[in-house]
């Protein structure tokens, strides 16, 4: 009986000691992030010293140099550039658009060309026809649309507690709108910005001409302007005038920026965010915050003299916004080099308060990650559900289907107020929330590295 009790106590306290050891080290991670953190200053520098960083631009090239120099300054075991080919799209001169009703009244619109759109080749003008969503457009008669400008006015479903679900539901109007409207004879498409609030900021984003019979210009207008256009259309005919000077140029060479800490073996844990942004605003939340999180996580682990079990690799991906060639090239490169990848994490949901991690994997892998929930609960991380990892790390799952992928979750309520718009600037990021995100990333890397074999 005494032997049984002793064994029970030994196992119990060994388990408690294991948890206490993890909690103690994670506490050090948070202390370093909150007391000596560099993520906020790094984000300020990326946003203010470099600015918006659309793929293939001079600013994107500057950001690569910025990232390489910063990573080298921390003395990681290895820092290098990975060459990739990326698309080159330019917005050109500032877009202009306005509507006019049958009374001759005019309203100027806040408008942005969608990424990869063609230009209008001068001023384009036509009557507007409205659709509530992409599915309604697909069912329309070509005779009703031919020669007109299609307006797709699907708003965010405000009943969704998680705004990324609302964004996903509306995405087809941006991604497929030009193709569907062009196939039905429209001369342009204008969409309601994919945003959660009513404001005057137009929100850009990528679109596609896949399988389109003809390419037509595609633009987004602000949610306030979308509401006004819908009201005008309810009262009678409306014409829309649009001018855009955007164009696509030949592909160019660019780079992912990579830093590593060596482990006891060469199995790889990858994490990162994307260095590119759209060309409006400063790309602070999308995805400067993810870049700051990722660099800071590696810095913290090195500063605390953590000795990894596996190779820890931080990747600043290029070209997430309009092609994901950084993520695709990285995944192919890893496979060609016969690397073994066991996990990947992405931060691409803004610099807001972290709440946990989405888990992409099997039910067994979900349970594996959920075992950390008790340890991380004291650090206000509580969401560990099956979900999506991220665009940049996504291609890795096809090369390494047995790996675990995690996407850091945040309080999403404000994200789509700024996403892909001129409002996405450094001043909208809270210093403490950004630091907590960096600590959350470092804590999860530590737990995965320690427990994955």
Q: What is the pLDDT of residue 19?
A: 62
Fold of 92-245: Glucose Oxidase; domain 1 (3.50.30)
For residue 280, the 8-state DSSP code is S
pLDDT, position 197: 96
Mean pLDDT in residue range 262-273: 98
Q: Which pLDDT does position 1 carry in this prediction?
A: 40
> How far apart (Å, rounded) are the C-alpha atoms in residues 98 and 362?
50
**Tell me, what's the pLDDT at 20?**
72
339 pLDDT exceeds 90? yes
pLDDT in tens, 188-219: 999 999 999 999 999 999 999 999 899 999 99
Q: Which residues of 399-424 are buried (b: 16+ CB within 10 A; e: fewer)?
A: bbeebbbbbbbbebebbbbbbbbbbb
- The three-class DSSP label of residue 359 is strand
Predicted pLDDT at 286: 98
pLDDT for 115: 98
Mean pLDDT of 62-70: 98
CATH no., domain 29-89+250-451: 3.40.630.10
Which of 379, 449, 437 shows the shortest CA–CA distance to 409?
437
Return the active site residues.
Answer: 320
pLDDT digits (tens, 9 = 90+) for 378-406: 999 999 999 999 999 999 999 999 999 99
Average pLDDT for the chain? 95
Alpha-carbon span 137 to 189, nearest angstrom: 11
**What proportion of the chain, given as a percentage, has pLDDT over 70?**
96
Phi, psi (degrees; rounded to nearest 5) at 386: -65, 135
Position 363 pLDDT exceeds 70 = yes
Q: Tell me the mean pLDDT in the region 291-299.
A: 98
Q: pLDDT tens, 15-27?
A: 333 467 999 999 9
Give the Cα separation of 203 and 222 in Å (integer): 7
Which tens digit of pLDDT belongs to each residue from 10-54? Answer: 333 333 334 679 999 999 999 999 999 999 999 999 999 999 999
Q: What is the pTM of this model?
A: 0.94
- Domain extents in the chain: 29-89+250-451, 92-245
């Amino acid at each position: 009986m005494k032997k049984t009790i002793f064994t029970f106590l030994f196992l119990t306290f060994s388990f408690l000691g294991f948890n206490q050891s993890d909690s103690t080290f994670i506490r050090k991670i948070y202390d370093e992030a909150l007391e000596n953190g560099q993520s906020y200053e790094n984000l300020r520098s990326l946003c203010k010293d470099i600015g918006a960083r659309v793929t293939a631009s001079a600013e994107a090239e500057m950001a690569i140099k910025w990232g390489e120099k910063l990573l080298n300054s921390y003395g990681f075991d290895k820092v290098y550039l990975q060459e990739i080919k990326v698309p080159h799209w330019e917005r050109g001169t500032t877009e202009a658009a306005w509507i006019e009703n049958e009374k001759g009244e005019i309203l100027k619109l806040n408008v942005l060309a969608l990424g990869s759109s063609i230009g209008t080749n001068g001023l384009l003008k036509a009557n507007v026809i409205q659709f509530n969503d992409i599915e309604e457009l697909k069912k329309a008669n070509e005779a009703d649309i031919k020669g007109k400008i299609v307006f797709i006015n699907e708003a965010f479903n405000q009943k969704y507690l998680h705004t990324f679900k609302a964004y996903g539901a509306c995405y087809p109007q941006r991604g497929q709108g030009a193709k569907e409207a062009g196939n039905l004879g429209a001369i342009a498409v204008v969409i309601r910005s994919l945003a959660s609030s009513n404001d005057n900021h137009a929100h850009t984003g990528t679109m596609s001409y896949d399988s389109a019979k003809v390419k037509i210009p595609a633009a987004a207008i602000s949610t306030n302007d979308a509401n006004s256009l819908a009201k005008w259309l309810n009262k009678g005919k409306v014409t829309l005038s649009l001018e855009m000077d955007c164009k696509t140029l030949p592909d160019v060479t660019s780079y992912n920026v990579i830093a590593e800490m060596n482990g006891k073996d060469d199995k790889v844990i990858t994490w990162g965010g994307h260095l590119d942004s759209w060309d409006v605003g400063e790309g602070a939340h999308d995805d400067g915050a993810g870049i700051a999180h990722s660099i800071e996580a590696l810095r913290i682990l090195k500063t605390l003299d953590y000795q990894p079990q596996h190779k820890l690799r931080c990747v600043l991906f290029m070209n997430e916004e309009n092609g994901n060639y950084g993520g695709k090239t990285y995944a192919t490169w890893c496979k060609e080099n016969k690397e073994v990848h066991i996990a990947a994490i992405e931060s691409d949901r803004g610099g807001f308060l972290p709440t946990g991690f989405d888990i992409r994997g099997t039910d067994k892998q979900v349970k594996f990650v959920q075992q950390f929930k008790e340890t991380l609960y004291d650090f206000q991380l509580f969401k560990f559900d099956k979900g999506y990892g991220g665009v940049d790390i996504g291609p890795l799952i096809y090369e390494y289907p047995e790996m675990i992928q995690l996407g850091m979750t945040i309080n999403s309520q404000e994200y789509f107020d700024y996403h892909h718009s001129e409002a996405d600037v450094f001043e909208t990021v809270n210093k403490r929330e950004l630091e907590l995100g960096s600590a959350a990333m470092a804590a999860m890397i530590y737990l995965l590295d320690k427990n994955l074999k």
